[in-house]
Structure 1
Amino acid sequence: MHGSASSGWLLVALCALTGTYCLVRMRSGAEEQRGAAGGEALMGFGMAAMAVPAAVFTPPAWAWPVYAAVFAAAGLHALWAARTGAHHLHHLVGAGAMVYMALVMAGSPGHAHGRGGSGVPLLTGALLLYFAAYVLLTGVRLVPVAAVAGGGGGVRAGRGGRPELARACRLSMGIAMVAMLLTL
């Protein structure tokens, strides 16, 4: 993506760590949690790969259509899964945003991710508004969960079963999505 190398590396680290935690969450016992965590892990690692600074690695021309295809498939999966839960609609929007960013990067001069001024401003703005609202809503929802979880007396959840950590992951990926969209 566009931007400075230091912010790019911070974004890579944030997304990769979030993707890793989501992989751990996939070991949860609930089928619904495993599916959501798998989609979030894919999103985290995909965002990390897209955020690598152009000075370090410029993907070949064929990489952007591959990103678009992978996230289009993830979007179709989210659309199918949305019939059982509204959270999958967020995954659908996220996958759509990743497809959009990959297509913008494929169309940018030289297929590099260090140039600016590309993309459809109205679509980019709509995605920015959606993810900014998502970040604010997720942040508000995180506060009460952290206060309740810290109160003690409850049963400690197993590996990957802590809802406040899952929300924190979603919050960090939402912030990363806003940062990536801002650089388009």
Structure 2
Amino acid sequence: MHGPASPGWLLVVLCAATGAYCLLRMRSPVEEQRRTAGGEALMGFGMAAMALPAAVATAPRWAWLAYAALFAGTAVRALWTARVGSHHLHHLMGALAMAYMAATMAASPGHHGHAGTGIPLVTGVLLLYFTGYVLRSGARLLPVSAPASAGPRTLAWADRPELSQACRLSMGIAMLAMLVTL
């Protein structure tokens, strides 16, 4: 994506770390957790690759087209799995956003594709969606008091819901940053 190198590298590290954690979550004994973690790992690593600062690694047009094809395929898979759970709709939106950004970069590599023309409709809709998602995800991380009868729960660190929610929040923030610099 376009923008200064330091924030770009921070995005790369954040997305790669999130992708790595999601890979570790794939070891969960819970099947749905493993399936979700795989899609999130792909998004994390894909976002890390796309966030590489342009000054360091200017990707050729064919690479952006490959990203667009990869994430379009991911969107089709997310659409298929969305029929069983609403969280997969978010995966669909994320995959569509990645495919859109890659296609935009393929159309105008090396410079701002929308400079001087305002925010395109698709970019604006994606910005609104991910802003809402980030706000909702952040609110879900706020502590709530547990019932006294609940007792302590022992969960494997890869199955802790607050960690997976924090990863989703960080990827949502990274997606916003990438869309803003598009």
| Residue matched to 1:139 | 138
Compute the displacement of 1:153 (Å): 4.0
Q: Is the 8 A contact 1:16 1:48 kept in 2?
A: yes
- Paired AA for residue 174 in structure 1: G
RMSD of the alignment, in Å?
A: 1.6
| Residue matched to 1:67 | 67
| Residue matched to 1:54 | 54
Q: How do 1:1-184 and structure 2 match up within 5 A?
A: 1-108=1-108, 111-112=109-110, 115-118=111-114, 121-144=120-143, 148=146, 153-184=151-182
Runs of 5+ in structure 1 lacking a partner? none
Q: Share of identical aligned residues, percent?
A: 65
Runs of 5+ in structure 2 lacking a partner? none
Q: Is the 8 A contact 2:104 2:113 kept in 1?
A: no
SS at match of 2:61: coil
Stretches (4+) displaced over 4 A: none
How many residues are treated as equivalent by the alignment?
Answer: 176
Compute the displacement of 1:136 (Å): 0.1
Q: Is the 8 A contact 2:105 2:113 kept in 1?
A: no
Q: Is the 8 A contact 2:9 2:52 kept in 1?
A: yes
Tell me, in whole angstroms, the C-alpha distance in 1 between the residues paired with 2:58 and 2:113: 18
- Paired AA for residue 174 in structure 2: A
- Paired AA for residue 12 in structure 2: V
TM-score computed with the length of structure 1 as normaliser: 0.91
